Amino acid sequence: MVARQIHLVRHGEVFNPDGILYGRIPGFHLSELGHKMAASAADALSDRPISRLYASPLQRAQESAAPWSEKFGLPIHTDDRLIEPTNKFEGKRFEFGPQVLTNPQSWPWITNPFRPSWGEAFVSIAARMLAVIEESWTETDDDSEVVLVSHQLPIWMVHRALTGAKLYHDPRRRRCNLSSITTLERDGDRFVEVNYQDPARDLLAASVDFGAV
């Protein structure tokens, strides 16, 4: 008994008036626009046979999973493996780029961008995400589908791992917008990405996105 498709859903816009990198800091919830984004994602797959729903324990992911729970009548299974990675820049105003070098305090954190040295290793993020994908696939009824609500970097790590790309990358070039849906299917003994969509694309221009480093 295995799932037909796995949908990786990113959370909606977060209320963050101070513009900090919130990471795993508690209390960061969806903005009003973020709730609309989350609802648009659930609406985009309203005709799909979604039978299981998982979400990161962080508040923004739980709130983004709520429209799926309501629409499909499903409980939210909280899984810590879907969480945002740790990050030493958490709680600070931060923009990735050469300007990082102007702050000597940050230098020890950026010694190895290939790992990266400022947080959880890319290989660790990919491994835990692929583990929960595998587990959710095997635990779901045949010919039905699963939704996993997570965060930008974990979802992007899955994309790069499945496409054979190096996990190291430029964070400014991730294709994983707010409330986007990345869809996977099983092909033999591995998963493959079969679709990407931006259900909230009409709302993105009015949003602010402080993705992970």
Question: Residue 71 falls within a domain, yes or no?
Answer: yes
Please report whether residue 128 resides in a domain.
Answer: yes
With respect to residue 123, please indicate whether it lies within any of the assigned structural domains: yes
Position 20 in a domain: yes
Length of the chain: 213
Amino acid letter for position 160: R
- Domain containing residue 89: 5-204
Question: Residue 199 belongs to a domain with what CATH number?
Answer: 3.40.50.1240
Residue 84: HSE in the Cβ half-sphere, 13 Å Cα cutoff: 24
The predicted structure's pLDDT at residue 105: 62
Q: In what order do the strands lie in the sheet with 190-197?
A: 77-78, 50-55, 145-150, 5-10, 181-187, 190-197
Looking at the chain, the whole-number percentage of residues with pLDDT higher than 70 is 90
How many C-beta atoms lie closer than 10 Å to residue 93's C-beta?
10
State the pLDDT at residue 63.
98
pLDDT over threshold 80, residue 3: no
Structure tokens at 178: 């707010």
What's residue 213's pLDDT? 66
pLDDT in tens, 38-73: 999 999 999 999 999 999 999 999 999 999 999 999
Asked whether residue 213 is assigned to any structural domain, the reply reads: no
Measured CA distances, 207 to 36, 37, 60, 139 (Å)? 11, 10, 15, 36
pLDDT in tens, 143-188: 899 999 999 999 999 999 999 999 998 888 899 999 999 999 999 9
Indicate the number of domains in the chain. 1
What percentage of the chain exceeds 90 in pLDDT?
Answer: 73
Across all residues in the chain, what is the average pLDDT? Answer: 90
User: What is residue 212's predicted lDDT score, i.e. its pLDDT?
Assistant: 64
Exposure of 70 by Cβ count < 10 A (0-12 exposed, 13-18 middle, 19+ buried)? exposed
Q: What is the mean pLDDT of residues 78-97?
A: 82
Lowest mean pLDDT segment, chosen from 5-14, 78-87, 89-98, 170-179: 89-98
* Confidence at 117, pLDDT banded by 50, 70, 90: confident
Q: Give buried/exposed letters for 160-181 (b at 16+ CB in 10 A, else e).
A: bbbeeeebebebeebebbbbbb
The reported pLDDT for the residue numbered 112 is 73
Mean per-residue pLDDT for 94-99?
Answer: 56
Does the structure show a pLDDT above 60 at 107? no
Report the pLDDT averaged over residues 189-198: 96
Domain assignment of residue 212, yes or no: no
Which segments within 22-103 are labelled E, that is strand? 50-55, 77-78
